[in-house]
Amino acid sequence: MKKKRYYLIGIGGVAMASLAGLLKQKGYEVAGSDQEMYEPMKSMLEKLKIKVFTPYSAFHMKHWRPNIVVVGNAIGRGNPELEYVLSNGHLYRSMSDILLDEFINPPAGGKKSIVITGTHGKTTTTALIAWILECAGLDPTVFVGGIAINFGSSFKLGKGKYVVLEGDEYDTAFFDKSPKFWHYRPFIGVVNNIELDHVDIYPNIEAYKYAFERFINLIPKNGLLVANRYDKNVTEVVKKFHPPRLAERSRGEAGMKLFGLKHGNYMAKNILAATAVARFVGVSHETVKKAVASFKGVKRRSEIMGVKHGITVIDDYAHHPTAVRETLDVLKQKFHMKPTSQISRRLFLMFEPGSASSKRRIFEKQYIEAFLHADVVYLYKPYKASLLKPDEVFHVKHVVSALRKKGIPAKSFDNLNKLLFHMKHDIRPNDVIVIMSCRGFDGLRERILGEI
């Protein structure tokens, strides 16, 4: 039988790069392409010795000659490699299809998938559940939307019967507009929260909730649904179904009391969800407690990049207004930013509107409210705003004006050099700078420590 040769169009994204890694670990030949590559996936793929071609070109496909092409969900008609695939009748699949066929339901025998969903917190919760199962000796296969620090990777090919996956509600591919998490055949499903996001494909909250309704409806009778009963939208969705096993998470404070850890409220909620899953699959309470205590989190989730001249620089992936607000609040608690504190510290936010939702005006009011939880705000130009209609684009200057009226020093920038120039004059010793973006921020992360 001919050995499988996979080629991933759009390999630079976290999910696609993780799939490439899993396929490589399984023994297949793997290569891929992207328009350009960014860290940390660039280094990860280099370490795995997976060939990456840039930019997109039909020549790469002709040269490498794959027998299975995986099309990333960001790839659309007009991409030269996709057009080559279609014109020449090559076999193409989605990332979700391959995850199902190769890892959840492989020919050698199906596994049980644990799928973590929700607008916020799913990456951290996925990494935490995977780590608990790993500590329990269950050797899970893992697929996370970020670098899980305990594993040193965003993926892991395990020999155990469980596959722990982050379930994304975004669409699957240009030929399949259903949510990715509908493909993962959940045995255990976690719904952290439901709050409108991805407004480029979900026109309203009802359409968004429907995606989760269908997901819940896939969980078998002998499976488990873990739901946050203090989230109004989750409660409404769950009411429509009556699974035999339903673990309802209570308030976050209970998780903090249970483990005695100094986690923020949002992290305590993640711990509660992970505990419910772990106990259901037979992990002891003591093992759960030890695993949580040794959990190191996920890169780009309030990750400290460095400290220079007393100034702490933090990298965070938050881009939804709720996630922005909660992250800022946790950082203020962590760094003791209170009027009574002996050290005068400010939380200095640098935000790039990079996601499909954040670069649109729909959440502008919510962002203003979220940014009020910082002490200083720098707003950058929306990522690829030219692809939107002018009246759809996040109005950076309007937001800056609104923040200034409320007493928050705020500035807007469309050039990284200008941002760094102003930063040098505005920062003070003991400030905490947090960079928030789901994109590259024009290289800010790579330059900031050298500019302080």
399-426 pLDDT, tens digit per residue, is: 999 999 999 999 999 999 999 999 999 9
User: Does residue 67 have a pLDDT over 60?
Assistant: yes
Query: What predicted TM-score, i.e. pTM, was given to this entire model?
Result: 0.86
Confidence of residue 32 (pLDDT cuts 50, 70, 90): very high
pLDDT digits (tens, 9 = 90+) for 307-323: 999 999 999 989 899 99
pLDDT digits (tens, 9 = 90+) for 89-123: 999 999 999 999 999 988 767 799 999 999 988 99
Q: How many residues does the chain have?
A: 452
Confidence of residue 280 (pLDDT cuts 50, 70, 90): very high
The answer to whether residues 259 and 271 touch, using CB atoms and an 8 Å cutoff, is: yes
> Hey, where are the domains in the chain?
5-90, 104-293, 303-451
Find the range with the poorest average confidence among 152-161, 232-241, 427-436: 232-241
Distance, CA of 93 to CA of 68 (rounded, Å): 7
User: Does residue 243 have a pLDDT over 80?
Assistant: no
pLDDT at 407: 96
Same fold, 5-90 and 303-451: no
User: Does residue 450 have a pLDDT over 80?
Assistant: yes
Architecture (CATH level 2) of domain 303-451: Alpha-Beta Complex (3.90)
Please indicate whether residue 363 or residue 131 has the higher confidence score (pLDDT): 131
pLDDT digits (tens, 9 = 90+) for 132-168: 999 999 999 999 998 999 999 999 999 999 999 999 9
* CATH topology classification for 5-90: Rossmann fold (3.40.50)
pLDDT at 181: 96
User: Does residue 242 have a pLDDT over 50?
Assistant: yes
> What CATH number was assigned to the domain covering residues 104-293?
3.40.1190.10
